[in-house]
Amino acid sequence: AQEILLASRPQGMPTHANFSLKQIELPPLKAGEFLVKNLWMSVDPYMRGRMVDRESYIAPFALGQVLEGGAIGEVIESNHVDFPVGSKVSSMKGWRSHYITDGADHTLLPETPLSESHFLGVLGMPGMTAWTGLNRIAQLKEGETLFVSAASGAVGSVACQLGLLMGAKVVASVGSDEKAEALKAMGIEQVINYKRTTNLSQALKEAAPQGVDVYFENVGGEHLAAALDNMNDHGRIAVCGMIAQYNETEPTPGPSNLAYIIMKKLRIEGFIVFEHWQHYGEFTQQMSQWLANGQVKAEQTIYEGLDNAPAAFIGLFEGKNRGKMLVKLA
Ligand code: NDP
């Protein structure tokens, strides 16, 4: 089997030198265990936070140890009645080709006409994040204006599409013209390429002259400042992520226009999707239907092979993905 270890902690932008590939021998299966061959693994921005040695809502990765993350695998040998050979499982055992487990924290995947890889994207954690932020945190209402940053990514592209389904006007921000065109093809009329604007706040004002009622925050920094400038009274900001800061080595200054929180009587609320997991059943029921009847489209960007996992991960911070960034292992 092969595993990818955290070789060193990134300083700033992660590089290939922060990862190392290791060949290991797996022992024979014991009673109650099964052998999984991973088919897909996820790379996610939050993993950058786990590479820093600090206390957070999730433990940091240990130096010299195999990394972890969402994965979908197939059972290829089994001494466990609940996980027979051929069953597909989801786990947090990404960044490795094969592993042995007793099944703790493993979920059997239901039969689906879609690729099981979608359980790492639109039907999994990122999709659930978009749904939670809009419904449970921001409480987006019909007729309101929604602004989404990192809008063509795993979370953002779902947030944009759900916004349309909820009857909102959607304004999106992305980092390339190609991403903007893809969102327009999905029915998002106002898309800003933030890399081409010199004044993001002004660009947002032109895209949403009626103002913004809900901001789905994925980026932070200049995006947050632009949103604050353009929020309507009693607007809500669901703070999901601040990817623009994850590779910063110095503390970044806050927006200079925070006083709008008072003047506009805003509600700004951060959230971590796992605290809302009791609603996952409700979410999958709705999302499976939207996917089946084409109301939500699930884009993916796929890198092939475990040795390309570091490139896929680094690519998240270079804007290399449209939709969910995945690594196909087998
Ligand atoms: P994405 O699929 O959106 O991938 C990251 C994207 O972010 C890139 O493609 C890039 O797109 C954009 N980006 C990267 N660096 C910058 C930058 N400096 N400024 C602006 N945009 C940048 O990732 P996810 O959908 O998985 O995650 C999106 C956000 O949601 C992240 O902040 C993540 O941490 C957060 N998150 C939070 C969760 C929670 O529970 N709170 C759960 C899951 C995700 P572009 O080309 O447009 O720049």
Q: Which protein residue has the closest C-alpha to ligand 1 atom 30?
A: 241
Pocket test for ligand 1, best of 316, 325, 326 (most atoms within 8 A of CB): 316
E strand spans, the chain: 2-6, 19-23, 34-42, 71-78, 88-91, 98-101, 107-108, 145-148, 169-174, 190-193, 212-217, 231-239, 267-270, 300-304, 324-328
> Whose CA is closest to 91, among 122, 113, 68?
68
Q: In the chain, how long is the greatest CA-to-CA distance? A: 65
pLDDT at 210: 98
Whether the CB-CB separation of 140 and 134 falls below 8 Å is answered with yes
- What are 29-58's pLDDT values in tens digits? 999 999 999 999 999 999 999 999 998 888
Q: Is 244 in the pocket of ligand 1 (CB under 6 A)?
A: yes
β-pair partners for 5: 20, 66
pLDDT at 33: 98
Distance 71 CA to ligand 1 centre (A): 19
User: How would you write 169-206 as a 3-class SS string?
Assistant: EEEEEECCHHHHHHHHHCCCCEEEEHHHCCCHHHHHHH
pLDDT at 21: 98
- What are 295-316's pLDDT values in tens digits? 999 999 999 999 999 999 999 9
Q: Which protein residue has the closest C-alpha to ligand 1 atom 34?
A: 241
- Token readout for 136 is 């449970």
Q: Is 317 in the pocket of ligand 1 (CB under 6 A)?
A: yes
Distance 24 CA to ligand 1 centre (A): 33
Whether residue 119 has pLDDT greater than 90? yes
Distance 15 CA to ligand 1 centre (A): 18
Q: Is 219 in the pocket of ligand 1 (CB under 6 A)?
A: yes
CA distance 179 to 157: 10
- What are 66-106's pLDDT values in tens digits? 999 999 999 999 999 999 999 999 999 999 999 999 999 99
Distance 1 CA to ligand 1 centre (A): 31
Q: Which protein residue has the closest C-alpha to ligand 1 atom 17?
A: 244
Whether residue 110 has pLDDT greater than 90? no
CA distance 173 to 191: 6
Q: Is 240 in the pocket of ligand 1 (CB under 6 A)?
A: yes
Atom index in ligand 1 nearest the CA of residue 173 equals 47
Taking 3-state DSSP, the helix, strand and coil percentages for the chain, each rounded to the nearest 5, stand at 30, 25, 40
- What are 246-284's pLDDT values in tens digits? 999 999 999 999 999 999 999 999 999 999 999 999 999
Local structure of 217: helix, strand or coil? strand
Q: Is 260 in the pocket of ligand 1 (CB under 6 A)?
A: no
Mean pLDDT on 319-326 = 98
Distance 156 CA to ligand 1 centre (A): 8
Q: In a 10 Å sphere around its CB, with 0-12 CB exposed, 13-18 middle and 19+ buried, how is residue 315 labelled? A: middle
Distance 241 CA to ligand 1 centre (A): 7
Atom index in ligand 1 nearest the CA of residue 45 equals 34
Q: Is 43 in the pocket of ligand 1 (CB under 6 A)?
A: no
> Whose CA is closest to 126, among 62, 216, 58?
216
β-pair partners for 189: none
Q: Is 193 in the pocket of ligand 1 (CB under 6 A)?
A: no
Q: Is 45 in the pocket of ligand 1 (CB under 6 A)?
A: yes
